[in-house]
Amino acid sequence: MTASRSSLISASFVGMLVAFAATPSAANDQYGRPDYAPPIWTGLYVGAHLGYGWSRAEASGFGLQVGVEAHDNGSVGGIQIGYNWQRGGYVFGIEADYDLFSDLNFGTIRGRFGFLANHVLVYGTAGLAFADSGPDNVVGLVIGAGAEMPVWRNMTIGLEALYYNFEEQSGTVNTGFGTIHYSADVDTFVIRGRLNYHFN
């Protein structure tokens, strides 16, 4: 009787240990995150992006009656940092990014607002853009949209499209024939992939 009771207690204890050890894995969601963890969209995140950009520059002046248009394109890539707040099925936040691999060395400070559709964040974004253009820094506006989804634990991937409209630049050039006035306007369109790590 004593041996049976001891065996029963031992079996119960072992069963409790097995159940306790199995609980964390059983409570994980499909992305490997515990169900008790805060929503992945709330909090600080950092990441990197890589994509392709198209630029169009239009210059006028120099004694010309019509503008001169030039096109350029190439790879872009850099880093981003941001902070999100999730309220129910909606997510809003702020993000700053900087492109390290483009000729313009441009960046943005943007607000983001979106909604969740089957764990995918679909959002719009808008804010200020800046670029290092030769001796001067130029500023402008940027608007865009994107989608982002969790893939594993605190990692998300996404695709984003942005349109940059920089302010018109004007100036003068002194030559042997006198002073020439000019103005230039630059627009840029970028499509890029994103990878973010969320600290929550």
Residues 99-138 pLDDT 10s = 988 776 789 999 999 999 988 999 999 999 988 766 667 8
Q: What's 52's domain CATH number? A: 2.40.160
Copy the structure tokens of residue 187: 């627009």
168-195 pLDDT tens trace: 665 555 555 555 555 566 788 999 999 9
Instruction: Say how many C-beta atoms besides its own lie within 10 A of residue 44's C-beta.
Output: 13
Classify residue 116: in a domain, yes or no: yes
Q: What's residue 25's pLDDT? A: 42
- pLDDT band, residue 199 (cuts 50/70/90): very high
Please measure the distance between the N-terminal and C-terminal CA atoms of the chain and give it in whole angstroms.
Answer: 52
Q: Is the pLDDT of residue 2 over 60?
A: no
Instruction: Say how many C-beta atoms besides its own lie within 10 A of residue 36's C-beta.
Output: 7
Classify residue 27: in a domain, yes or no: no
Classify residue 151: in a domain, yes or no: yes
Which structural domain range is residue 191 located in?
43-198
Q: Once rounded to an integer, what is the mean pLDDT over residues 194-200? A: 93
24-82 pLDDT tens trace: 444 566 655 555 455 679 999 999 999 998 877 665 555 544 444 444 688 899 999 99
Classify residue 133: in a domain, yes or no: yes
Classify residue 4: in a domain, yes or no: no
DSSP state of 37: S
Number of structural domains (the chain) is 1
Q: What is the mean pLDDT of the chain?
A: 76
Q: What's residue 119's pLDDT? A: 85
Cβ–Cβ < 8 Å for 93, 85: yes
Classify residue 137: in a domain, yes or no: yes
Query: Position of tokens 């100036």?
Result: 171
Using CA atoms, how far residue 146 sits from 76, 113, 157, in Å, is 17, 10, 11
Q: Environment class of residue 196 by beta-carbon count within 10 Å: exposed (0-12), middle (13-18) or buried (19+)?
A: buried
SS3 141: strand
Classify residue 23: in a domain, yes or no: no
Classify residue 33: in a domain, yes or no: no
Q: What's residue 186's pLDDT? A: 73
